[in-house]
Structures are given as C-alpha cells and as structure tokens.
Structure 1
Amino acid sequence: MEPLIRARGLTLDYGRAGRTPKRALDDVSFEIPPGRVVGLLGHNGAGKTTLMKALVGLAAAQGELSVLGLDPCRDRVALLEQLSYIPDVAILPRWARVRELVTLMAGLHPRFSAERARTLLRRTSVGLDDKVKALSRGMVVQVHLALIAAIDARLMILDEPTLGLDVLSRKAFYEMLLDEWCDGERSVLISTHQVEEIETLLSDVLMLNEGKLVLSISLEDIDRRFVALGHDPAAAEAMAAAHPLLRYRAPGAAGGQAALFDGAPPPEVQALGQRLRPSLVDLFVALTRQPEINRRSGL
C-alpha cells in the first residue's frame, strides 16, 4: 500500500538575513503507511513542531515530501480536506456554545459529520449547551478532539495534544482517539513528552535529536534490534567495555543495573546478564540528549 506520508531528505533552516541560520530539520527521511499510530519523540527544540508544520503546509522544507499523495504547500487546500491537525495549543472561541461549534464546523468542512461529533461528545462530560469559557482545559481538549475526529480524514496529526492535562484527562483523550478514530486504515502521528504513557498505544516511533532523525522503527522491531541486559555490579566493568548505548539503574533487574545495546552484544557479555525488554524511555534517553550535553560531548 502507498504510504500516507513519504519524506526524503527534509531540511529546513530558520534565521534572519545576516545571521547564522538554525537548522531545525536535517536530512530527515521516513514513511508512514496506513493503519499506524506513530509517536514523534524528542526534546524541546528537537524539530518536532517544525516537522509537523511542514507536513501540513505551514513551513516549506527542502527535499521531497508527499502527504496523502499531495504537496503540502502547493496543494494545501486539497490536503486539509483529508487531514486533521491539532496544534499544541487547543484554542476554541470562548464565547461559543458547543452546539454552535458543531454547526460552525459543519459549514466549514465538507467531510465533517455533525451527527458523529455529537456522538463523540456524548462520551465526555461536556454538554452541547455548555459555553467554552465555562469548560476546564481538559474539557476543551476533549471537545477539540471530538470535532476533529468527526472529520472523515485519512491522517491525524497531533502536536502535544494533552499538554497540561491531568492523568485522567489524558487517559480519556487517548481512549477516545483509539476507540473512535483508529480503524486500521487511517494513521495518527502524535508528538508528546509523555513517553511512558503512550508506549502501549503506538505501533511505530520516530525520534528526533537536534533536527536529525535518530530512530524510525516499529515497536515490534525494537525488541529484535535492541538488547537490554540486567546484571550484577560485579559485571559492570565488562558491560562498560562492550560500549553499550546506555548504562542505567533497573530496579526490576537482578543486581539492579542494566546495559542497553544496539544489536546483540558479544556472547561472553550476554552470559553475564539477563535479557530485559528495553522500554521506549530507555531508548529515548540513550539516543537523544539535551543539546547542552551534546555540545559538551562534542556530538
């Protein structure tokens, strides 16, 4: 099947004339096929929002980019009929009632279903006669998702959709997303800092570090490619000599320490530890570091 997103060598620089430009995206290439839930991970300033803006035609990048078979900048109007996008700040007019927003969306978007929006809203604690200004932040995000999910789109792009929400509100958001929108044919790209929270929801991961794509992989392939070994303190020196990606404390491991390798470590090292399942958080720490740490390390 044709991928919903195909990116080749995406590069984008920011900066005013006469100043050294900042490279926000650096030769980024990936594909997203239909029916996937993809996590876009990275520290603040890693390029996540810039990439999402490029995907929806809000930023022009060098390289090749096709979203739903269209050029995001040249064909933006046609693209937005088939794509849903929630930026990192969910803003709805505070004066409006929820039913007025449903009516407004029905007049604005040709693929919006008012009936479906009302069905989705019944899953929340928000009433159709409620005014936006009377809603909590969590309720506003739920309304925003209900409106967006009522669009018959093929791709949804979410930039930190649950930022600032409590645990229960985040859980309700993701339950609605998976239950009511993901159907095995449409795909979702989610940028978030809640790595542990969404790991079980994802099928794939894209990981950015200072504009570079350092990992593009399915969750299934993580277990095949990366090896984590729990070990006793006595084996720490031998583990370090094998140059793991990361050495960390693992309370659930025998000995309480672990080492993470990209690929299988030497047999003599494997014999010193017990294999563990590497978590997405462990990989994130191993493959992305804060910019100031990278600069000190010369990376």
Structure 2
Amino acid sequence: MLKILKIGLGIVLVLVLVLVVIGVIVAGFLGQIPVLSEYINIFQPVDLGVTSSQAEVNELINNAGYKISAPEGFNRVNFRNYTFIHEGKKDYKVTVTESELSSILNYFPFFPFIEGAQVKIHTDGAVEYSSKFILENLEIINYYDPPVWTELSSVLGEVKRRVPAILHRGFPVYIKARPVYSAEAGIQLNVESLKLGRIPLPINLLVQNSQQNAIAAILSELFFSPNIVYTEAQIGQLFNENIRRVVDEFVTNGIRNLPNISIKSFSFKDGKVDFDGSISTQLNIIRRSP
C-alpha cells in the first residue's frame, strides 16, 4: 500500500512539475516573464500591427482588370507542380495601403516564399517589413516560362548551399528601410535596420554579452567562408560594406526581370505606396506534366 502511495505521489509530483514548466513557457510567450520571453521570442517575427486578407487581394485584382487563370487544386504552396506564364501589358497607376501591400505579399501566387508579411509605411517615408522567409520556396523563380531570373537562380543555389537545411523551411526577417526609385539607379532600399528574428545585424549592433563571440562564429560559418572565423568587428564591416549593395541589386534585378512589369515611379509615404508603371494583364498557371 505504501509503495502504491509513493508511486501515486511520484506521478502527481511529475505532473505538477510538467504543469509548472508549461506555465512558465506560456508566461514567457505572453511576455509575463521578461527575460524568458526575450529568449523564447528571439526567433519570432516582429509584429507591426498590420492586417491582411484574401478579400483585399481580390478587390485589387478586380479593380486592376487583372486575370488569373489557375486549375482546380492550385495553391501557392504546391507551385512546383505548375508553370507560370504572364500575358499582355498595360499602363497602371495605383495607390496601395500598407494593409493591401501586405495582403499582396501574403496571398498572391507570386510569393510562396513569404508568410505572415506585414508592411508598415511611416509618414516620413520609412518602411518596416516583417515576415517569415521560406528559402526553399524561392525556387518559384525557376517555374516561369520563359525563364526570367536565371542570374538569381545561380545566386539562390549558392545561398542554399551556405544556409543549413533546417533554415530552408523558414526563418523570420525584419527590415527597416527608406526605399527610393530612379530610372537610372533602379531601387535603392537604404537599409537602416536588418534583423533575423529579434537579432539585429550587423553583428556589432548586438548588445554586448557573453554569447556574442559564439554568434559571430556561427554567422561566419553560415554566410561567409566556412574555413575562416571572422571577428565581430569584421562581420560588422562586411555587412556594412555589402548588405546594402547586395540587397539593392537583388531587388532591382528581380523587379526589372518581372515579366511585362515596369516602373516609372513609386514612393512610400503616409501609410501608402504610389505606383506608376505597367503590369501584365493575365497570369496563366498551367499544371506541369508528370
């Protein structure tokens, strides 16, 4: 009898311990334990308080006179079974809200590599962007007919080789920038802040702590030479020198190669983006042969 009581008491104590641990974790997620919350949420997307919906995308498509032809069963997650063909071209001028822009990124077939996007546009022209970035789904650039992003495809292969496979399925990104456009230079993002989750980059912007050298070593392995461990200062310098150029070139080349799309001007202000240029008139999504 005593043995049974001890076993029962042990089970109860284990259950209590499990409940306490769960309670602590939940409290951390809810921000009620600040230190724990900081560590739990370090790889969570930044919430900018911007909503999005499929209904907003549908309204934008209808207002633009744009058509999407897709077979039954298509969704942007299973894009590898389809080919994407753009047709037609027309001048298009529109003002889009930050909510509508977020909806385009979250629900339009073009962007299966973006999940939970929020775009915040400030009155002074600064733009904040937060989302989960799904690296493996960037392969959609290989499914356009004709191929339009061959240069970016080679870059993608190199990036995927450097980044651990576990991150290919998604990691949170945050960017604050002041994007401007000119016909001569294309898009210049003017990045002010870049974060992976809640971790700021370049690495020298991190608050000094005992983990910093370890983080520097990890970033060296992931993004630079696998045989050289860069110091914190060296990584900071590499980001400062290269991140703006790389991001600007990637975005500019990506947009310039979008089928039947061109930009005359665009600007961000007062929670909206003004676009003047041209767009295609129809997207045909065709099932690929087995």
- TM-score normalised by the chain length of structure 1: 0.25
Tell me which of the two structures has the higher relative contact order, counting C-alpha pairs closer than 8 angstroms and 6 or more residues apart: 2
**Greater CA radius of gyration, 1 or 2?**
2
| TM-score (norm. length: structure 2) | 0.26
> Structure 1 or 2: larger helix share?
2
